[in-house]
Amino acid sequence: MDYRRYGVTVYVRMDKGDEIISGILEICRKENISSAIYSGIGGCSEAQIQTFIPENGTFETQTVSGMLEMVSLTGNVFSGEQDELFHHTHGVFSYKNGEEHGIVAGHIKSITVLYTAEIELRPVTGGTIRRQFDPETGTGFWSFD
């Protein structure tokens, strides 16, 4: 992984074997970024995609692997009550299965890079977005300072 900060924006290149979500959170810690949004594209070898099941407040996880084109990655980073970092990420991946092309998408738990991923990380300026736990859904939502 390599990255550069130009102005307030951080441009990230992930390399083979890098895990994207942990890499983004690592950069945020190093650069003292407490809230941000990001987007990206790339070629990946594995993605753990989750679906939230509201009836029991849990996520079901599906792992897809092979040559996955990361068509779209979008997400955000925000701070918790003890300044721990959380992410909320969605992704769309295309793949080939025999002669057919398919798409899989959803909430992302983790993504492993196959050959490269290019991420644009844009820190929030002028404030901080925090995570506020919602007991009704069992998940966290944005809270503004």
Residue 136's pLDDT is what? 76
First-to-last C-alpha distance (Å) of the chain: 32
The domain defined by 2-144 folds into: 60s Ribosomal Protein L30; Chain: A; (3.30.1330)
Q: What residues are paired with 110 via a beta bridge? A: 48
| In the predicted structure, residue 58 carries a pLDDT above the cut 80 | yes
pLDDT confidence band for 145 (50 / 70 / 90): low
Q: Which of 7, 45, 36 is nearest to 119 (CA)?
A: 36
Residue 129's pLDDT is what? 87
Residue 25's pLDDT is what? 97
98-126 mean pLDDT: 95
Task: Give the 3-state secondary structure of residue 5.
Answer: strand
| In the predicted structure, residue 70 carries a pLDDT above the cut 90 | yes
37-43 mean pLDDT: 98
Beta strand pairing call for 9-15 and 139-144: unpaired
32-61 mean pLDDT: 92
**What whole-number distance in Å separates Cα of residue 70 and Cα of residue 104?**
10
* Domains of the chain by residue range: 2-144
51-73 mean pLDDT: 91
Residue 71's pLDDT is what? 97
Residue type, 73: L
pLDDT confidence band for 6 (50 / 70 / 90): very high
